[in-house]
Amino acid sequence: MSDYPAEYEFDLILRDGAVCRFRPIKASDAPDLLDLFHRTGAESRYFRFFRMKDELTPDELAYFSTVDYQERMAFGAFLEGELIGIGRYDRAQDEEGVAEVAFLVADTHQGRGVGTALLQLLGSYARAHSVSSFRAFVLPENLQMMRVFRTSGYEMHRTLEEGVYTVDFPTAHSPDAWAAEEEREKRAVAASVLPVFYPKSVAVIGASRDPTSIGGRLFRNLVASGFTGVAYPINPSAESVNSVRAYPSVLDVPGPIDLAFIVVPADRVVEAATQCAEKDVRGLVVISAGFSEVAGGDQLEEKLLDVVRSAGMRMVGPNCMGVLNTDPSVRLDGTFAPVFPPRGNVAMSSQSGALGIAILDYARSNNIGISMFISVGNKADISGNDLLLAWEDDPATDVILLYLESFGNPRRFARLARRIARKKPIVAVKSGRTVAGSRAASSHTGALASLDVAVDALFHQAGVIRTSTLEELFDVTQLLANQPIPAGPRVAVVTNAGGPGILAADALESNGLTLPELSDRLQHRLREVLAPEASARNPVDLIASAGPAEFRHCLEVLLASDEIDAVMAIYIPTTPEGARPIADAIREAAGRATSDRTLLAVFMQTEDAAGWFADAGIPTYLFPEAAAQALSRAVRHGEWLREPAGDVPTFPDSDEKAARKVVESSLARLGKEGGWMEPAEVETLLGAYGIRLPHARVATSVDEAVAAAGEIGGPVALKVIAPSALHKSDLGGVLLDLEGAEQVAAGFDRVTSVVDDPEGVLVQEMVPGGHEVLIGVTEDPSFGPILVFGLGGVFVELLKDVALRIHPLTDVEAARMVSEIRSARILEGYRGSPPGDVAAVEEALLRVSALVQAVPELVEMDLNPVKVLPPGQGVRVVDARIRLRPVRPGWTPELRDIPSLAGHLNR
């Protein structure tokens, strides 16, 4: 029997939002399994056993509760400690790769997604244990089980014989199966999180009469905001708080409680949460600090989380500022902040409570409407990824803002954001841009990939708009929340002063936007109301004497023109009373526009003009540089939206079995710490995925080197093999174009003399010509595998002309990686130089990504240089180094990629 696979223990969300523990069955679960059998109705037992059955014999119970985790596997679903469902497979003895599956779910819990989750877990485990196909025997009347199979997205084949359906389907994921799992994940997480924002009854544990305390401020905000539900202050030392009757504990509250805020000292939080669990509270917001953010607080946070998970609750925090919802149907102000923002279409998550207060104040003063706000604190349970899913289909939310200090599950964030950003813009500030980006690395790839570069790569792939400051965050947000995304980079500037127009032009062009010269016809229309000395070119300079009529006419003409994509209206005050009429003219022009052109205003005055434009949906800025930067980010997002999403290709000629075999043998040699593969092992591993290397031999003596060169034929390269020779060319450990026994013998002595620990040399076929590039992989502890592409050879770290992406790589992203480096034109044949096989470079990147998917032990790879031959001749990897590190037992690629298994509760 194999060891118990603890890595397959998951807390997953059911269809109705309840949290359920799924784990492999143990022999000690026999009493729970028997109890499940007795709680299951006669019809369900008949569907499972194909006969009326009132009892399990001791032998049957022992059989069902004992598995070997190889040939026989079973998962149980436990809700609040009670076994509510079980799914199992037994490998067929007469058909290789086939296993029979069966399920039993308690009647009272059917329809909640338990069977679907069990099937998903079994499929993941089966794929990792060489089970390629499932078979189920289902009675025609068992519509519920057939629905589970059908809605799972697997490609089913059904046959009916003697009144029983035989259902066969592969365990491999189809696109439909992926889509079905993602849809289930979205609905389940939304069902679990949204009750935090839409409670009908709320308790504040720690509500205080002291108006300066956090508990006092929070309860006062809750009442003052006009919360539409019932609010219960919990305070054992007071009869009332804010004229509302208080209760000693939640257990004394006569009615149900949907959401509880906990504002008590850290050492009393677990007790309060336990009482909430007993009261069947659905959600917690733990304001209290003193958990994992302080030394020694990790264990206390784990105890708190265990209470939350065991009760099937969801929790915000601990160490957070709270939540709010401006929807008139709830008007929930569950924060201790002194401000309540205006209602709007922007949802925001902040990891910092202190910054959250500033954010809400900024939103109110700049008329940025908020739909929901949440301070996630330590993210022990509810995280930014959960909120993305909750807000994905929220009709009140059009833009999502994130202030991030750390990622819980970057891979999951990338998968979710890539999908959601195509529906709603996601704008993020990620702090820590300068932290730990220069960690020691033993390869070119590791030296080039820093933490912040990984964040940039992640956001770029996912379509997330990254800003450097909170001010920039709100600058771009007010544009996205109120205006259409620009259709392109063409901008027209209308101004009453030449200087600001020049500043705007410089700022727009430096941010990658263009100011096209307007056609004669369009300039003629603009001049209809302009003074003779005004300019109708772009920028359109109305001059200082221009009034509302000139602004209104020019904006109406430009907003109707197909020569531009966006219009920036700039006004600098010329008289104390002139600003408001100009603002009204801009509003009128916007109201009459029938096109989807983007309009933004720059009012260069100390008086706040944001309020004049708020109800017209026109974003307003104090200076043109901020407006240009915001517009640039919106334009780039529009370009991302118009690009195809791309696919992650598979390669039928790859040999995963051969790859696994060489990896396992290499790790057996390297030991538990891992290390660098031998040249022959590297060649075998790369060859399994169609990545070609020149012919080569390892030689440990002069005679072997001369013989190897003779076998290869023609000129050869010699490369020293030594543990200390990480960058061989830097040490003089590489010699090229050696031919003949005399040169090879002399070369052997020379390259081995540059190190103190020579183990031999690699004698390699010379690959003449071609351009040199680098393809690499490095394992980031937060983001997982990062793929690197750039100019190769000895100058890679000097020039740092590289592109990075988070694994896995799509075909579109591979093409972008090749085209976006500054030296990309060299591969295209710059100034008469021979072009390279760009298509082969892109394929090589995708094959490396496929290799990384199959070999989670791969933590570092340098293919440098890679010779890019002329079009149609492919690429050849001239030098390759791969470092392996063992992964935890039983870990499989499926666990890091599948929706909900990689999931929100198992970050």
**Contact by Cβ (8 Å): 900, 181:** yes
Pairing of strands 734-738, 716-721: antiparallel
Which of the listed ranges 48-57, 294-303, 773-782 does the model predict with the highest average pLDDT?
294-303
User: Which segment of 384-388, 795-799, 810-814 scores lowest on mean pLDDT?
Assistant: 795-799
* Beta-sheet strand order (sheet of 230-234): 230-234, 201-205, 259-262, 283-286, 314-316
What's the rounded Cα separation, in Å, for the pair 801 and 772?
13
Q: Where are the beta strands (DSSP E) in 263-381?
A: 283-286, 314-316, 322-325, 332-335, 343-350, 370-375
Q: What is the DSSP annotation of 773-834?
A: EEEEEEEETTTEEEEEEEE-GGGHHHH--EEEEESSPPHHHHHHHHHHSTTHHHHHTGGGPP
Backbone angles phi, psi at 731, to 5 degrees: -95, -5
Q: How many CB atoms lie within 10 A of CB 30?
A: 17
* Confidence (pLDDT) at 46: 85
**∠ at Cα 413 (359, 433), nearest 5°?**
55
Instruction: Show the tokens assigned to 527.
Output: 């001049």
* Confidence (pLDDT) at 436: 39
Residue bearing tokens 């959600």: 283
As a whole number, mean pLDDT of residues 698-719 equals: 90
**Contact by Cβ (8 Å): 629, 512:** no
Burial class of residue 597, CB neighbours in 10 A (0-12, 13-18, 19+)? buried
* Confidence (pLDDT) at 799: 60
Q: How many CB atoms lie within 10 A of CB 751?
A: 27
CA dihedral (897, 900, 906, 907) in degrees, to 10, reads 50
Pairing of strands 133-138, 426-430: unpaired
Pairing of strands 566-571, 880-884: unpaired
Q: What is the CA radius of gyration of the chain?
A: 32
3-state secondary structure at position 128: coil
Cis amide leading into 539 (omega within 30): yes
| Percent of the chain whose predicted confidence (pLDDT) is above 90 | 61
Query: 117 or 830, which is more confident?
Result: 117
What pairs with residue 858 in β-bridges? 884
Query: Per residue in 184-212, pLDDT tens?
Result: 888 889 999 988 999 999 999 999 999 99
What's the rounded Cα separation, in Å, for the pair 849 and 449?
16
**Contact by Cβ (8 Å): 752, 824:** no
* Confidence (pLDDT) at 887: 76
Which DSSP symbol is given to 486? P
Pairing of strands 98-105, 82-91: antiparallel
Residue spans of alpha helices (H) in 156-281:
175-197, 214-224, 269-278
* Confidence (pLDDT) at 826: 86
Residue spans of alpha helices (H) in 134-231:
143-151, 175-197, 214-224
Q: How confident is the model at residue 439 (pLDDT cuts 50, 70, 90)?
A: very low
Q: Write b or e for each residue in 475-486: b if 16 or more Cβ atoms lie within 10 A of its Cβ, otherwise e.
A: bbbbbbbbbbbb
Residue 802's closest CA among 794, 814, 812, 792? 792
**Contact by Cβ (8 Å): 377, 288:** no
* Beta-sheet strand order (sheet of 716-721): 696-699, 760-765, 716-721, 734-738
Q: How confident is the model at residue 606 (pLDDT cuts 50, 70, 90)?
A: low
As a whole number, mean pLDDT of residues 492-517 equals: 95
Percentage helix, strand, coil for the chain under 3-state DSSP, each rounded to 5: 40, 25, 40
274-to-257, 323, 382, 580 alpha-carbon distances in Å: 14, 21, 18, 58
What pairs with residue 350 in β-bridges? 375, 403
Instruction: Show the tokens assigned to 896.
Output: 């890091």
Query: Per residue in 397-428, pLDDT tens?
Result: 999 999 988 777 777 888 899 999 999 999 99
Which DSSP symbol is given to 19? E
Tell me: pLDDT of 890 over 50: no
Q: How many CB atoms lie within 10 A of CB 865?
A: 23
The mean of the pLDDT values for the chain is 89
**Contact by Cβ (8 Å): 780, 861:** no
Query: Per residue in 815-873, pLDDT tens?
Result: 999 998 888 888 888 777 789 999 999 999 999 999 998 898 999 999 988 999 999 99
What's the rounded Cα separation, in Å, for the pair 503 and 521?
26
Tell me: pLDDT of 576 over 90: no
Residue bearing tokens 């523990």: 21
As a whole number, mean pLDDT of residues 638-650 equals: 92
As a whole number, mean pLDDT of residues 32-49 equals: 92
What pairs with residue 764 in β-bridges? 696, 717
* Confidence (pLDDT) at 902: 42
Cis amide leading into 318 (omega within 30): yes
**Contact by Cβ (8 Å): 322, 287:** yes
* Confidence (pLDDT) at 437: 34
What's the rounded Cα separation, in Å, for the pair 147 and 559?
52
Q: Where are the beta strands (DSSP E) in 641-748?
A: 675-676, 696-699, 716-721, 734-738
* Confidence (pLDDT) at 442: 43
Instruction: Show the tokens assigned to 66.
Output: 């004992």
